[in-house]
Amino acid sequence: MHLLRHSFWRAATIRALAAGSFFSFCALAQAQTTLITDVNGYTVNANRELVRFHALQFTGSTIDRVYTASETLPQSQDITVIDGEGRTLLPGLIDAHGHILSYGLSLLRVDLTGTRSEQEAVERIRAFQQANGNLEWIQGRGWNQVLWDSNEFPSAASLDEYFGDTPVWLSRVDGHAGWANSAAMELAGVNAATVDPAGGQIIRDAEGRPTGTFVDNAMDLITANIPALSLDEQVFALRRALYALSAQGLTSVHDAGVSARTVEAYKRLLEEGPLPVRVNVMLGAGDPQLPELLAAGHFASPDGTLTINSIKISADGALGSRGAALIQDYSDMPGHRGLLLLEPEELYATMELAMKANFQVNIHAIGDNANMIVLDHFAALIPATGTRDRRHRVEHAQVLRYDDILRFAQLGVIPSMQSTHATSDKNMAQDRLGEIRIQGAYAWRKLLDAGTIIANGSDFPVESPNPFYGLHAAITRQDHENQPPGGWFPEERMTAVEALASFTMDAAYAGHQEQLLGTLEPGKAADFILIDQDIFADEPSEIWKATVAQTWVNGQRIVAP
């Protein structure tokens, strides 16, 4: 075992397998009609109007009816009645872009999110090492130099002081840069003579020596030497993540960029019973087995909790690490325009391969240059392959030229965006982009007004997976301290109904699942949550504080083992 090298892996896996077997047994029980009463229910209808109701009835995994205030509830001894105790009931929330395995691993490794200095990050790593004993590798994630007083990338030197011969690898919060100590670099054979790989950058000192920070494709120089997770370790981490996500009100997640090995882990987990959260897998385009995965075609489990019909390609890096590919120089780094992770010809060929296999193509593009290239490729390939109905997507779509904002609706391409990215990035985005380009960044209202829909998500573990953080950011354009007053570029805000739709019906549509998920109406899956706040009546500034009382998927209440 390489993840933590502790015996708890085996014991915890056995306990979880037993719990999964119990869940399977319950799911096979005879379908029972259930009526949840005394709820403050909300859903959105096909006309994008808010619908209120006070009770929800379902049989087995399928909704029978929602009861509005004027409708009388049925009286039958054959119906199990559950008192909702006045809580708000919403459709199950869908995160259209997350990383489930990475999130599960983040729960088991050192967490550097929120650190205010490089030294504070080092102290957290020391505490983690002391709590976990000798590790083959120390791994973690979440640092963000923009939050540090130095505003500088970290160095190997600060790690070398404490961790000696133990290799250390720590991913930046966005996953587009990593921090290594000298032991990790020595193991990888990285030195001053090492050439930057295509689509990557080794941060160097004035003498050309690597400082310990690696950006985008350069990260592979280090990660190639980290022992691969076993299948059992992946299953364990996925299970841990799915139950944690369920507890936060998510009933479905689009997993952005999954390897063949992780697909195998999902199918192993599925043998225990329905997944506690529905997973819509995007196959990772960089996986060497991609041709075989595409040739195998689409996959959908009988219980509807695991679906595979799309791929994820990364076109560029992230804005925080200055890896997002821009048309003009970064405003705060003249001479630098970011990184294209694939040459345009290679990107085109990969898109074409997937389209011809009838897969949806979802492409990470953050900078305006990456988005322009991706949309140019879609404009050529969608008519050539006849795949407009595959609802191809751009993941993030953060920085856009005005002309490209208009092209999403014209091409039938869906922007899959993450509202908390705007409130997290507001402290550096304008520095990176300047006064003009920022007008096309995180431009939700411009995209909606141009006639497209937005599939919302979080990009966890880059951001918190808590969907109420996302709803709050979408509606207010503010952080949890209600800053800035009035919102950051408030003209780009969503309405409360638009925000809920982006996390429900529009995310379902973006995953080709709108006939099953996204709204509460007869014939659809009984996926819903009960929360302690009325997000439509309470102050918008309070939405992020909502807590989840119950999560239901396929008519089953999900409770972690």
Residue percentage of the chain with pLDDT more than 70: 95
9 pLDDT more than 70: no
Please state, rounded to an integer, the average pLDDT across all residues of the chain: 93
Higher-pLDDT residue of 51, 30: 51
Measure the CA–CA gap between 532 and 106, rounded to whole angstroms.
Answer: 28
Six-digit token string for 383: 């008519």
Residue 337: CB partners within 8 Å, gap ≥ 6?
Answer: 325, 326, 327, 328, 329, 330, 369
Mean pLDDT of 158-173: 94
pLDDT category of residue 198 using cuts at 50, 70 and 90: very high
Can you give the pLDDT at residue 300?
Answer: 98
| Structure confidence by residue, pLDDT tens digits, 467-503 | 999 999 999 999 999 999 999 999 999 999 999 999 9
Can you give the pLDDT at residue 30?
Answer: 67
Can you give the pLDDT at residue 1?
Answer: 39
466 pLDDT more than 60: yes
Mean pLDDT of 156-173: 94
17 pLDDT more than 60: no
* Spatial contact of 326 and 337, defined as CB atoms under 8 Å apart: yes
Can you give the pLDDT at residue 213?
Answer: 97
**Whole-prediction pTM value?**
0.87
Question: Helix 231-247 crosses helix 8-27 at what angle (to 10 degrees)?
Answer: 60
Residue from 140, 142, 229 nearest 184 by CA? 140
Residue 284: CB partners within 8 Å, gap ≥ 6?
Answer: 257, 258, 259, 290, 311, 312
21 pLDDT more than 90: no
Can you give the pLDDT at residue 164?
Answer: 86
Residue 202: strand, helix, or coil: strand
Can you give the pLDDT at residue 133?
Answer: 83
146 pLDDT more than 50: yes
Measure the CA–CA gap between 481 and 195, rounded to whole angstroms.
Answer: 44
Can you give the pLDDT at residue 65?
Answer: 97
Can you give the pLDDT at residue 16?
Answer: 40
- Secondary structure percentages of the chain, helix, strand, coil, to 5: 35, 25, 40
Measure the CA–CA gap between 79 and 73, rounded to whole angstroms.
Answer: 11
Six-digit token string for 258: 């999954």
Higher-pLDDT residue of 164, 449: 449
12 pLDDT more than 90: no
Residue 316: CB partners within 8 Å, gap ≥ 6?
Answer: 323, 324, 325, 338, 339, 340, 341, 364, 365, 366, 367, 369, 370
Q: Which domains does the chain carry?
A: 137-223 (3.10.310.70)
Six-digit token string for 290: 């991609």
6 pLDDT more than 90: no
| Structure confidence by residue, pLDDT tens digits, 248-259 | 999 999 999 999
| Structure confidence by residue, pLDDT tens digits, 529-538 | 999 999 999 9
* Spatial contact of 40 and 24, defined as CB atoms under 8 Å apart: no
